[in-house]
Chains A and B, each alone.
Chain A
Amino acid sequence: MPAIFTVDPRSGVPLYLQLIEQIKRAVALGMLAPAEQLPTVKALALELTVNPNTVARVYRELERDGVIVTSPGRGSFVRTDGAGIEARRAVADVARAAFEAAVREAKSLGLSRAETQELMARTIARWYETENA
């Protein structure tokens, strides 16, 4: 697996949630392919210098969410069925949370509904302009 994960232990966001989000993102974007093997708990813990129990918790939750499958003695693999769907759902959740945070921030800074909508429309126009053209 490529070294695509970085965690920020000093963040207030729990480490295991940071890692779960990143792995789901990697699956959704195809950086981790179906059937691809994940590093062992120990290898990933040492690579990131984070606690092995934290990584084990990440793998357990990813298995529960249907993103990976772990077979004793063989290791953990990205699921070939449905992993992408769950991962895309998770990524949509991340996008929704980010969107909500942005709107909440605009409101708390005192912007009116019209001003926030205007700002959002302009942002969308900038990032999706190639598709409109």
Chain B
Amino acid sequence: MTVPLISLNGLTKRYGSFTAVDDVSFGVDEGSICGLLGPNGAGKTTTFKCLLGFAKPSAGMIAIAGAPVRPATFASLAYVPERASLYDSLTIAEHLTIYRRAYENYDDARARELLALFDLSPSLHAGKLSKGMRTAVALTLAFSIRPRVLILDEPASGLDPVHQRHVLDLMIDAAANGAAVLFSSHQVGQVERAADSVAIMKKGKLIVNSVIDDLKTGEKLVEAVFAGPVPDLDGLARDPSILRIEQAGSTLRIVTREDSDAIAARVFALHPKSIRTIDLNLEEIFMNAVSGDGR
């Protein structure tokens, strides 16, 4: 069994009476990309801060490459915060110099290649850059140290679509070379494309953690239209494989977790005028998860 490069076990972080992160456990394996989704205030950034040792957990365990976070961890860990912190009075080239001196694994050729990819000139002063360009510099620095662990908070925010795609390709390349990547995003489509697993947080709790393709295989929407009002569902509502039921007039919509055929058969027995089963994409699964009662 492989030890996940990133692991959280029962992570809890309280600020006074407010619980920002509530008993969260998951891991990211070597070669894996995990997308962290959640509405604002779900606890994503606090989770990152705990992972990096910037905030002390109230309870629970965190390990990077099987060990607690310590200064040496940062030799092979790269973190890009949502708002990139750069030295405004220094040029991009001077930032690269700092990295060359600070990181043993720093790869200057790689850094120059990434600057070109993001259309950035090394002579620009950091203070003159737009938010997206600052993010691109921070990403360049992060990937130039060939990290084994990458933690990226909204890594594509402020970037144009072409550069956003480059960010996904950088994560894919790093994972293909064995790195573990954990990134948060508000763009479900990015997670759906680049990540193999997803973690969804809501109000500090982890409500979904799964391989994305398995999630898609499992969750379906069964939609039935009746000639009149929707008949009595006869205990269907208590079926554990049903995540959500909506009724509007003569339309019944049921989101199922597993075995949608069995649910469809039971609905069919109620003689609907029409019935169909629809594959749910990650955005719909996400919306169902965060808008539900939290199960």
In the bound complex, CA of A51 to CA of B29 (Å): 13
* A49-B165, A49-B172 known; A13 vs B196 contact (CB < 8 Å): no
CB distance from A24 to the nearest CB of B (A): 17
Which B residues are in CB contact (< 8 Å) with A109?
A: 274
Contact call B281/A12, Cβ cutoff below 8 A: yes
Set of chain A residues within 8 Å of B172, measured between Cβ atoms: 45-46, 49-52
Chain B residues 157-201 with CB under 8 Å of chain A are: 165, 168-169, 172-173, 175-177, 189, 192-196
Verify if B119 is at the interface (C-beta below 8 Å from A). no
The A contact surface, by secondary structure, is helix
- The answer for the CA separation of A54 and B282 in the assembled complex, in Å, is 15
Interface size for B (C-beta < 8 A) is: 34
- In contact, B194 and A51 (Cβ under 8 angstroms): yes
State whether A10 and B176 are in contact (beta carbons under 8 Å apart), knowing that A15-B213, A46-B169, A53-B31 are contacts in the complex: no
Give a binary string over A96-133; 1 marks a CB under 8 Å from any B CB, 0 the rest. Answer: 00000000110111100000000000000000000000
- 1/0 per residue B50-67: CB within 8 Å of A? 000000000000000000
Contacts of A45 in B (CB 8 A): 172, 176
Q: Interface 1/0s, chain A 10-48, versus B by CB < 8 A?
A: 111111110000000000000000000000011001100
A9 within 8 A of B: yes
Q: B273 in the interface, Cβ–Cβ < 8 Å?
A: yes
Asked if residues B196 and A51 are in contact (CB atoms below 8 Å), the reply is yes
Q: Is A105 in contact with B276, judged by CB distance below 8 angstroms?
A: yes
Cβ of B275 within 8 Å of any chain A Cβ, yes or no, is yes
Which residue from chain A places its CB closest to the CB of B281 in the assembled complex? A12
- Evaluate whether A10 and B216 lie within 8 angstroms (CB atoms) in the complex, with A49-B194, A52-B172 already known: no
- Whether A12 and B279, one on each chain, are in contact in the complex, defined by CB atoms closer than 8 angstroms, is yes
Task: State the Cβ distance, A21 to closest chain B Cβ, in Å.
Answer: 13
One digit per residue, 1 when the CB lies within 8 angstroms of any chain A CB and 0 when it does not, for chain B 274-295 equals 1110111111100000000000
A10 contact from B192, B217, B273, B274, Cβ within 8 A = B192
Chain B contacts for A42, CB-based, 8 A? 173, 176-177
Q: Cβ of A53 and Cβ of B196 under 8 Å apart? A: yes
CB <8 Å contact, A54 and B213 = yes
Shortest distance in angstroms between A50's beta carbon and chain B's nearest beta carbon?
6
Residue among B175, B217, B276, B278 making CB contact with A14, cutoff 8 Å: B217
Residues of B within 8 A of A108 (CB): 273-276
**A11-B281, A12-B216, A104-B276 in contact; A49/B193 too (CB < 8 A)?**
yes
A52 touches B280 (CB 8 A): no
Q: Kindly list the 5 A-B residue pairs having the minimum CB-CB distance in the complex, ordered from nearest.
A: A12-B279, A108-B274, A14-B213, A42-B176, A53-B196
Beyond A105-B276, A108-B275, 19 additional pairs, beta carbon < 8 A: A9-B189, A11-B279, A11-B281, A12-B216, A12-B281, A13-B279, A14-B212, A14-B214, A46-B172, A49-B172, A49-B193, A50-B172, A51-B172, A52-B175, A53-B32, A53-B33, A54-B196, A108-B273, A108-B274
Q: Which residues of B contact A (CB under 8 A)?
A: 31-33, 165, 168-169, 172-173, 175-177, 189, 192-196, 212-214, 216-217, 220, 273-276, 278-284
